[in-house]
Amino acid sequence: MPRCLLDRGGYSNCNVFLYQISTGDLVKIPNPGLQQYAGSVSQDGTVYFTRARRADIWVCGRRAQIIRYPVGGPEVVIATLDAGLEPTLNRTTDETDGSTTLYFVRTDCSSFSEGIYSIANADTAT
């Protein structure tokens, strides 16, 4: 569950949280002071999210990273997008073989065209 503030016409202080429905617990995913958003969680509690490369405010297309954060950490960067592209939404699918596939919307920041992409075996990708 991502949460951002609207600041100077842009988004800032973006963080991803893990919400446990059964207990009502809300836990902030560790953040090194950058913009984190577009989070989803797999069945085993692993959180997948996007991390921007700017600290002050979110800007589209600055070589954002897709991060895997298993329960208890540590985080692993599983993809870095080229400049001008941005992963804006993601969803996980737990496959029958026990692996996880991550689907994400990739936005071209100049044309705002979008496409759906996937990372197979996102649970073990590096």
Domain boundaries, the chain: 2-119
Structure tokens at 23: 């207990």
- DSSP bridge partners of 102: 92, 119
Contact 15, 89 (CB under 8 A): no
Reported residue count of the chain is 126
For the chain, counts of helices (H) and of strands (E):
0, 10
Round to whole Å and give the CA distance between 42 and 59. Answer: 27
- DSSP bridge partners of 93: 101
Tens of pLDDT along the chain (126 residues) come to 556 667 666 777 889 999 989 999 999 999 999 999 999 999 999 999 999 987 777 788 899 999 999 999 999 999 999 999 999 899 999 999 999 999 999 999 999 999 999 999 999 999
Round to whole Å and give the CA distance between 68 and 41. Answer: 9
Q: Quick one: pLDDT at residue 2?
A: 55
